Chains A and B, each alone.
Chain A
Amino acid sequence: MALPSGLDQSAIPPDFEKPFPPLVRASTVPALSAIDRPHRSDRLHLAPEDAYGSLSPPRWSTGFDGRGNGAGADLRPSRIQRNDTSRSRSRRRKRFQKLLWVKQSYPDNYTDQATFLEKLQRNPRVRPYDFWPLVADSTVILQHVCSVIIFIVCFVGIFQERVGPVSVVGWGSFASFLGWLLWERWVTQETRGGTADDDARARIMRGGHAYKEFHPPRRQDSSGPGQPLLNTSTGTTPSTSNLASAASSTANLVPEHQPPPLLLPTSGGNNTNNGSGSLLVPAHSRSVSSLNSVASHASATTPTSTQTRPTPEGAGSPTAPPIARGNRTYARVGSIKSAMLIYFTLLGLSPILKSLTRSTSSDSIWSMSFWLLAINIFFFDYSGSRVGIGGGRGGHGHKKTMPVASLSTNAALMASTVLASRLPSTGQVFSLTLFSLEVFGLFPVFRQYARRRSWRYHVALTVLLVLGAGGGMGIILGDETGWQPWKRGLLGMVVGCLVSALAMGGCSWWLIGLQKYKNEIYGPWDPARPIIISRRQWDDE
């Protein structure tokens, strides 16, 4: 066939000994693009023209840059003009090509102003923030900070014996129970709606590999008759280990006592064939201990859903609301059971906790709990990817979740433990620990769910939390003013609202203001991001 065009050029013999015609300085300086000009003003950041501009060592500071500034108003015309001069030269010379295999008629350090850095992109992926969405998103942080404050307020109240420990834990448990009921209703609704349309369900299970089940790898069904068998055998191993590690990484007691019901809709909705299998296994394992129940449960259900993958009709049209409902009742019973188990475990542990740090001075405890709560706030997973199978931390979607998400919960529980050990009586210790489990373990799950469910719930919850935190702070702080507690509480609420509004607005405004310092440089030297459609299960690192 016709030989491509490159051949004739490559046949030129290498003659590098002959001197090159002298370069023209103007032709070797790359053209400054007019778009980049406004950024020259901030000297703190690297801009492409700074590569040879005045930021570089002072050798060009007067020579080139001064001239560039003189022609700064009309850079484009001057560039065109230069191109004209170089065009007249190009009759003698071949055009410069950005290729290595061509024997160029230019010296090696020639810099072609037309092609040099032509593929440079600055801030290509920057999405400018809008003020109000940013404020709305920051409510998640506000909610968490407020719930931490409420916890501290309750501790102070118990510690100063202002509030009865039983009332704290009673109201807390009552609220948790109400939240649980509400959440149960939502889950049931979503499961029922999910049988109708896949989208809603995909939204529920956005976190883990449940999502992947709805987009099975493309080549899955077409690779031969031996496929399903192999698939089950290889597919089971990684998912089990993932979930086991996920569960063990979140090995604190209670946050996992609610996820089982979260897991169940997936298995119930998906595997019509293996529903009985998934019913049997957890029943066996849960009776062992409530701590391991989640791990074994998760690893028991997900492999079965992996097995259903090769049969697309099983996953595509789940017609099993009865089984799902049966699973729900079962899950409810399970939740209550593990709640009771944790309740009694805590009751038994409280005397030990009470004397845990008796030999430590209170100052160390205060500073330690401060740092632990700070860790909790800073490392908390605000992205909301926790709702889903395996908590979303099991390795999939590893780009989105923080690797230290479980650190946050652990830190908070440790803070509550050391704080509780300061309390004098067993009942107080028990109440505070249980309350902390509710605040740090269950409440975030509920908050995320409420936010996903409806924006109105989210706002209402935020307002309630801000009012509660502000009022509580007012009550415990303004003790020496001699005011009535309700007056102080009211004042605290007002101040809390003001402070949170100011903080949210100010921080959002600040973040938007900081955007102008953003200077990302992308080019062909960056590692490409591969686009892989049929990403496999084991592909986590």
Chain B
Amino acid sequence: MAPTYNIAMVSDFFFPQPGGVESHIYQLSTKLRDRGHKVIIITHAYDGRTGVRYLTNGLKVYHVPFLVIYRSASFPTVFSFFPIFRNIILRERIDIVHGHASLSSLCHEAILHARTMGLRTVYTDHSLFGFADSGSIFANKLLKFSLSDVDHVICVSHTCKENTVLRASLDPLMVSVIPNAVVAENFMPLSYPIEPSSSLFGRHPPPARPLGPHDMITIVVISRLFYNKGTDLLTAAIPRILENHPNTRFIIAGDGPKAIDLEQMIEQNVLQDRVEMLGPVRHEQVRDVMVRGHIYLHPSLTEAFGTVIVEAASCGLYVVCTQVGGIPEVLPSHMTVFARPEEDDLVAAAGRAIAAMRANKVRTELFHEQVKSMYSWTNVAMRTERVYNGISGALGEADFYGYDAPAANGAGSLSATRGRSGVQSFALIDRLKRYYGCGIWAGKLFCICVIVDYLIFLVLELWFPREKIDICPDWPRKERKESTAPASG
């Protein structure tokens, strides 16, 4: 019987705000609950959402009052979160604190405080950062601070892992790659049989009606219309694609500051009847938009994972995407046509995709089953659980980090800081050593922060003793499902 944990997910970003990180946290928490763990979520208060809420499946959400500054990221006050955080952690008897999203200061603070309180911490990085501009430099320094003393880091793609390892100077072995997933049931193709009559034929749905040479091919674009989503490329490419290929049309969903460019392009080229702009769509409606098309075009300039192309493939769309960030890792080559982030190449790639669709070379009706077998949240939860096992010592150090005999010679000094069985030592002096290496000035500053945090911890222990804090009763835990069971929902 594998151990079960009490896990606190901490992030600034959670429902009711829509977005990728939010749904990642929700899905992962739900699946972890299905596996018998206890999961709570700590986020800041949203409009109309304060206090403690329960979501489906007994998922408990703490909305902590916090000052929100920009795009629902809270104001970084290094210590002010500590009292209420400690209270929640003690009430819920949390073992593992799992923070999400690098722009969430709540997450970084929680990792710092959790280490001070002697808890295991995991951090999941969802985004990519460069190294050049000032905003990135600041974010990287902040990340280095909080990740100096984290037990394990999860990244959503290999590119993201490389980036995080570089940004926070981490040991690559303590960074795992666990991708996002999709709820395949929410992204079914149009012609997909709702209830497969028999499992034998369910895996091979009948081929869709073949496209004739003069049938209309619809290209779908669903993205927020920002610069880094490649809307400029899209604006430049659409007239050329439409000109080269008669009987094609575009459906564009999403909103953003670049929408005006697209509209001007449509007007200037008189493409009103061939480009349809839907405006913003809710996440539930994404599937309904996607199934109207044959090809999904994703012109993004940077992307850590690109959940939307997995969703599109799951809907049975052939995917044309730019080869940036983690996107090349996400889908197999028979589902995608890659383009360089250049106007010419994007037009050419779209041309190849249209030609392949017209020649009926692409078995898009098989995509759904394939995507379903590639990405599922149950799988993600299992892999995350392995990380939890590794950091809490249930999984041996050799199993988790993989040391062999020659490295064991040096491991005598390693284990001084690493503590028993591959987990990092909680001793204050070891933590200070880790922070001190962050930089000439930053290292000292971080050390001061850690010491102050420790002092606050001591004061809180005296002021609000642990015994006075009520233990809250748990929601009935689920029986652990066996992994051989099929992925359900």
Contacts and interface: CB of A to CB of B under 8 A. Distances in A.
A24 B166 contact: no
Contacts of A119: 162
Nearest to A9: B332
A128 interface: no
Contact of A64 (B169, B410, B434): B410
Interface string A381-396: 0000000000000000
Contacts of B435: 57
Contact of A109 (B130, B176, B243): B176
Contacts of B437: 55-58
Interface stretch (A43-51, A292-300, A469-477): A43-51
A46 B169 contact: yes
Contacts of A226: 270
Interface in A507-541: 520-521, 523-536, 538-539, 541
A20 B401 CA distance: 11
B158 A98 contact: yes
Contacts of B373: 10-11, 13-14
Contacts of A30: 172
B112 interface: no
A526 B167 CA distance: 12
A100 to B, nearest CB: 4
A101 B332 contact: yes
B227 to A, nearest CB: 7
A3 interface: yes
A159 interface: no
Q: How large is the interface on A (under 10, 10 to 19, 20 to 34, 35 or more residues)?
A: 35 or more
A117 interface: yes
A248 interface: no
B468 to A, nearest CB: 36
B325 A109 contact: no
B434 A58 contact: yes
B159 A111 contact: no
Nearest to B322: A528
A459 B223 CA distance: 54
B329 A531 contact: no
A108 B233 contact: no
A227 B239 CA distance: 13
Contacts of B410: 62-64, 66-67
A56 B404 contact: no
B75 interface: no
A24 B326 CA distance: 26
Contacts of B270: 223-224, 226-227, 230
Given A28-B172, A224-B270, A524-B324, A539 B329 contact: no
A17 interface: yes
Contacts of A108: 154, 176-178, 383, 386-387
Contacts of A99: 329, 332
B240 A219 contact: yes
B176 A530 contact: no
Contacts of B177: 100, 108-109
A480 interface: no
A236 B62 CA distance: 54
Interface string B289-316: 0000000000001101100000000000
Q: How large is the interface on B (under 10, 10 to 19, 20 to 34, 35 or more residues)?
A: 35 or more
B261 A539 contact: yes
Contact of B330 (A25, A100, A520, A532): A100
Contacts of A44: 440
Contacts of B159: 523-525
Contacts of A100: 157-158, 177, 179, 305, 326, 329-330
A101 B322 contact: no
Contacts of B264: 234, 536, 538
A520 to B, nearest CB: 7
A525 B383 contact: no
Contacts of A46: 131, 166, 169
24 contacts: A10-B373, A15-B483, A25-B407, A52-B165, A52-B169, A62-B414, A99-B329, A100-B157, A100-B326, A101-B331, A108-B387, A111-B173, A218-B240, A219-B239, A223-B239, A223-B243, A223-B268, A227-B269, A527-B324, A528-B301, A530-B230, A530-B233, A531-B344, A534-B343
Interface of B: 128-132, 148-149, 152, 154, 157-160, 162-163, 165-166, 169-179, 227-228, 230, 232-233, 235-236, 239-240, 243, 260-261, 264-265, 267-270, 301-302, 304-305, 322, 324-326, 329-334, 340-344, 361, 363, 370, 373-376, 379, 382-383, 386-387, 390, 398-404, 406-407, 410-411, 413-414, 417-418, 433-438, 440, 483
Interface of A: 1, 3-7, 10-11, 13-17, 19-20, 22-26, 28-30, 44, 46, 48, 50-52, 55-60, 62-64, 66-67, 98-101, 107-111, 115-117, 119-120, 218-219, 222-224, 226-227, 230-231, 234, 520-521, 523-536, 538-539, 541
Ranked nearest first, the 4 interchain pairs of A and B with the lowest CB-CB distance are A23-B402, A6-B332, A63-B410, A4-B334
